[in-house]
Structure 1
Amino acid sequence: MSIMSTDKVKMNATASDKYEAIRMAGQILLDAGHITEAYIDKMVEREEIVSTYVGNGLAIPHGTKESKEFINSTGISIIQYPQGVDFNGEKAYMVIGIAAQGGEHMEILTGIAVVCSEEENMDKLRNATSAQEIIDLFESEMEL
């Protein structure tokens, strides 16, 4: 099972707040079988401890350290929010949910952060018109 696939990318989404956006990212991971439902609550819990907004229009919600038992397999959900979602006064246009087993977590987090730290890449992600376009950008930049 690929950690990134078009069925785990949602285009042109809207969310009323960051918690809805986080739950949407978690639901995609749940629907794909990567996590159990309890992981979604841990993603929300993580947000309450420290914001998962990382800058440059990107939020990377993921579970707390105690949530590993709720992960079945490593996966990534990607949601594009053209209007943005408010994360403590910052707008996230891309919300990328992560569920990672073992040591893969930091590697994936770092890879996504590197890709999204480039203004040009964020513009491409925000303006992408297909899920495949988004995956192609990440796969060309990350060692997956």
Structure 2
Amino acid sequence: MSQAILAKENILLNASVGTKEEAIKLTGSILVEKGYVDASYIGKMLEREELTSTYMGNFVAIPHGTEDSKEFVKNSGISFVQVPQGVDFGAGNIVKLFIGIAGKNDEHLDILSNIAIVCSEEENIERLVNAKTADEILEIFEGVEG
């Protein structure tokens, strides 16, 4: 049975983190814990953030590995971390939703475009930031399975 790209267990609500690095590590650790990636992938996520910010606007960041991190990806997966009080991402940007992505081959491109569609709607962002259960998050992302 193939692993779900976004499962209930991949969702962490009401997290509290002090820095963007902590937030990225937390987002990555879910991917590691659930078997999507090797632990080395987290370092690649942090490296990626130094190259270009993964802040997408609308309180959303999509941390993911660098181009050369593919070898650390076992299965495509998404982790979702909600930080209601927000994390400073620099340049006055505050992030409340972290969507960690690990893509096998080019599967992550489909995943990304689906996430972009969901996150382009401010009303969806508000629902994601205020969601109290993993089921609410899954409902909003129902179309993300590609």
Return the letter of the residue paired with 1:100. G
Alignment of 1:1-144 (within 5 A): 1-88=3-90, 89-139=92-142, 141-144=143-146
- Say which SS state the counterpart of residue 141 (structure 2) adopts: helix
- Say which SS state the counterpart of residue 15 (structure 1) adopts: coil
Q: Distance in 1 between matches of 2:58 and 2:131?
A: 16
CA contact (8 A) 2:44 2:69 kept: yes
TM-score, scaled relative to structure 1: 0.97
Return the letter of the residue paired with 1:113. A
Q: Distance in 2 between matches of 1:111 and 1:79?
A: 17
In the alignment, structure 1 segments of 5+ residues that lack a partner are none
Q: Distance in 1 between matches of 2:8 and 2:94?
A: 24
Return the letter of the residue paired with 1:39. Y
Q: Distance in 2 between matches of 1:32 and 1:90?
A: 29
RMSD in angstroms over aligned alpha carbons? 0.9
- Cα distance, 1:99 vs. partner? 0.3
- 4+ residue runs over 4 A deviation: none
Number of aligned residues: 143
